[in-house]
């Protein structure tokens, strides 16, 4: 049976949601709507404005959310809108869709990727994704299928349990017809594969109550990263190397090939019309050829732009790796300097059984006095202990630590690298004395 929203919206927050931020993304079809071929433009304008931005405005109660009043999408950038509900802070993320009338798919993917990567680095993961699809769409045309392919590649399979595949605009279609269309969406050719891997079929009836019911169901979810986030941030892929990037590139290659063949076919037909002295047909074919040629050039330009972006990202990645290697090489030769005035037993010892906190400086050239004035970072000086009747006793006495300087039993860990104080004699730099810890 289809899953529907009830009229009653619970205000009791799910367990562990109190005081937390629940982030939910809105995705789906956008741009010139697929029902454009329908003859009734007035009906079209009534049907538009029931997509992602409409959902955000109705559910959040934010009247500043711009909702399209014509056949074109208002959402060109990723935008977030927050409101309080059920003791939690709900953040709805309005995303641009693919097949937009004003932006290329590559630009849309870059926009979404930039936002998801930044949010992932800040450890702000999505608790849910509401994928919207108008039930008014009579056919599952190319643009809807392309949106779905991109959605699959952006999200991956691990997050599908947090995905609501949500139909909209139920009031604009006869209920019996709408239910038939909903059943077609369950097929393996469209949503069946996603539903089989955990996604849930839902309905949005255009009201705040209906939207809040969806949000309430998502609030108890465990936030999970999208595939695009893992690939960009953790695996350090370029956009073209990601699953979504490959999907767009393959689509552009196919478009370029298809349009090129169309141009060649139209040129052949046009030459036949010229030979037959059919000026009217020649004009019609020339106009059609010009349109297809424009599409060909657009696909080629987008493919080139994606390749250029990939090359730039590769150069950036290589430069970052070069700098990382250089930094590692510098660190291999570096030492840590701790000013003697920062070694205060009374102020910094936390426990005889552990160590004590102070400040250190990275020194790459021990003869460069300016480096000894550089910014400090927190270090914990440890010291060897010995076992006596099951009790750990520090080798160094308080007098040795504070009065006689550091000894060879003292060391600092930076990550997994150990730096040892190999000399008890401090060195003097700029009127101050420093104890030196060397790698070893």
Domain locations along the chain: 21-235, 246-331, 335-439
Cα separation, 264 vs 259, in Å, equals 9
Give the Å distances, CA to CA, from 153 to 5, 41, 147, 306, 308: 28, 34, 10, 17, 22
Give the Å distances, CA to CA, from 117 to 22, 114, 129, 218, 279: 18, 5, 16, 22, 56
Work out whether the CA dihedral 173, 174, 179, 183 comes out positive or negative.
negative
> Which region among 200-204, 265-269, 403-407, 420-424 has the lowest average model confidence (pLDDT)?
403-407
pLDDT at 293 over 80: yes
pTM: 0.72
Assigned CATH class of 21-235:
alpha beta
> Which region among 27-36, 39-48, 99-108, 223-232 has the lowest average model confidence (pLDDT)?
39-48
Using pLDDT thresholds of 50, 70 and 90, give the confidence band for residue 268.
very high
Q: Kindly give, in sequence order, each residue whose CB lies less than 8 Å from that of residue 118, ignoring residues fewer than 6 positions away.
A: none
pLDDT at 127 over 90: yes
pLDDT in tens, 371-392: 999 889 999 888 765 444 343 3
What's the whole-number average pLDDT of the chain? 83
pLDDT at 399 over 90: no
Is the distance from CB of 202 to CB of 2 less than 8 angstroms? no
Nearest to 107 by CA among 220, 248, 262: 248
């Amino acid at each position: 049976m289809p899953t529907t929203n009830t009229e009653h919206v619970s205000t009791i927050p799910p367990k562990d949601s109190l005081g937390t931020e629940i982030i939910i993304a809105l995705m789906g079809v956008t741009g010139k709507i697929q029902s454009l071929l329908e003859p009734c433009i007035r009906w079209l304008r009534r049907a538009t404005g029931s997509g992602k931005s409409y959902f955000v405005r109705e559910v959040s109660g934010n009247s500043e959310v711009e909702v399209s009043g014509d056949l074109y999408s208002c959402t060109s950038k990723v935008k977030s809108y927050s409101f309080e509900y059920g003791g939690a802070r709900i953040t709805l993320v309005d995303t641009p869709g693919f097949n937009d009338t004003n932006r290329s798919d590559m630009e849309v993917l870059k926009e979404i990727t930039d936002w998801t990567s930044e949010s992932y680095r800040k450890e702000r993961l999505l608790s849910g994704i509401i994928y919207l699809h108008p039930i008014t769409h009579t056919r599952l045309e190319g643009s809807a299928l392309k949106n779905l392919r991109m959605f699959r590649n952006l999200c991956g399979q691990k997050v599908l349990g947090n995905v609501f595949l949500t139909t909209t605009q139920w009031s604009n279609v006869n209920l019996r017809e709408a239910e038939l269309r909903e059943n077609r969406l369950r097929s393996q050719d469209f949503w069946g594969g996603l539903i089989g891997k955990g996604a849930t079929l839902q309905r949005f009836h255009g009201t705040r109550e209906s939207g809040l019911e969806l949000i309430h169901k998502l609030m108890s979810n465990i936030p999970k990263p999208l595939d695009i986030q893992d690939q960009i941030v953790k695996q350090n892929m370029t956009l073209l190397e990601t699953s979504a990037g490959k999907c767009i590139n393959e689509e552009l290659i196919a478009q370029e090939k298809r349009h090129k063949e169309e141009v060649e076919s139209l040129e052949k037909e046009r030459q036949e019309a010229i030979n037959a002295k059919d000026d009217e047909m020649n004009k019609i074919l020339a106009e059609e050829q010009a349109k297809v040629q424009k599409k060909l050039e657009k696909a080629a330009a987008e493919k080139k732009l994606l390749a250029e972006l990939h090359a730039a990202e590769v150069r950036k990645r290589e430069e970052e790796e070069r700098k990382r290697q250089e930094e590692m090489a510098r660190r291999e030769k570096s030492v840590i300097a701790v000013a003697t005035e920062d070694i205060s037993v009374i102020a910094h010892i936390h426990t005889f059984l552990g160590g004590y906190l102070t400040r250190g400086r990275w020194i790459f050239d021990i003869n460069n006095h300016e480096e000894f004035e550089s910014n400090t970072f927190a270090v914990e000086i440890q010291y060897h202990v010995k076992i006596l009747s099951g009790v750990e006793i520090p080798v160094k006495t308080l007098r040795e630590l504070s009065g006689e300087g550091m000894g060879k039993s003292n060391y600092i860990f930076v990550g997994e690298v150990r730096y040892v104080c190999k000399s008890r004699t401090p060195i003097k730099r700029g009127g101050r004395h420093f104890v030196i810890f060397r790698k070893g």
